Amino acid sequence: MRVRDRSTYPYVEGGRHSPRWYDQSSEAVVLRDGDRFLVMCEGGPCMSRLEVYPPRLEIEEHDGTYVLVDDGPRDEWLYVFVPNPA
């Protein structure tokens, strides 16, 4: 996994765990606060999201919300789309 330089984008608002919440001892690359990385998506309009570490726990979309599933190794993390009630 290639990690890009720290983000120069303005900080994106949203609930997050602190960087120390995540155990990165078994990860090939240790991410620092502000590093950018891809998180795959299941359902909804996106295939993946470019996120800033630590990632947002929820991302609002027009038709629903992506919820972060961050159990296990980082390369298995994904956003699961939960549609708004009809």
Number of helices (H) and strands (E) in the chain: give both, helices first: 0, 5
Residue 56 belongs to a domain: yes
Domain that holds residue 74: 19-83
Please tell me the distance from the alpha carbon of residue 5 to that of residue 15, in angstroms, as a whole number. Answer: 22
- Neighbour-count burial of 24, counting CB atoms closer than 10 A to its CB (0-12 exposed, 13-18 middle, 19+ buried): middle
Does residue 3 belong to any structural domain of this protein? Answer: no
pTM, rounded to two decimals: 0.83
Say if residues 69 and 80 touch (Cβ distance below 8 Å): yes
Within 8 A by CB and 6+ apart from 83, the residues are 43, 44, 63, 64
pLDDT tens track for 6-62: 555 555 678 999 999 999 999 999 999 989 999 999 999 999 999 999 999 999 999
For the chain, the domain total comes to 1
